[in-house]
């Protein structure tokens, strides 16, 4: 059976000089796209929270308690 992984990154922006990667995630799926396993980690906890985002991504502060809120406050 074929297995593949989908990888996602979240960043603070698109400027390679100033913006940072703040989260990495991966979902391993079978040939029928059923999730088999998943993993994620938060990076750069010292990164300042952003006030605006693109799309439906929550602001950094909702993802990372180290930038000012707890996970329960972010929910």
pLDDT tens per residue across all 75 residues of the chain: 688 999 999 988 888 898 888 899 999 999 998 999 999 998 876 766 555 555 555 554 455 544 444 455 544
Which two tokens mark 43? 């990076």
Task: Please give the pLDDT value at position 54.
Answer: 56
Closest to 30 measured CA to CA, from 66, 4, 49, 67? 4
Q: Which long-range contacts (CB under 8 A, 24 or more apart) does 38-47 make?
A: 42/66, 44/20, 47/12, 47/20, 47/22
This prediction has a pTM of 0.57
At 31, is the secondary structure helix, strand, or coil?
Answer: coil
């Amino acid at each position: 059976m074929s297995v593949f992984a989908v990888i996602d990154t979240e960043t603070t922006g698109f400027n390679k000089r100033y913006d940072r990667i703040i989260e990495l995630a991966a979902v391993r799926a079978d040939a029928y796209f059923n999730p088999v396993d998943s993993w994620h980690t938060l990076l750069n906890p010292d990164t300042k929270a952003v006030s605006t985002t693109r799309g439906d991504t929550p602001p950094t502060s909702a993802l990372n308690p180290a930038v000012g809120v707890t996970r329960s406050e972010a929910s």
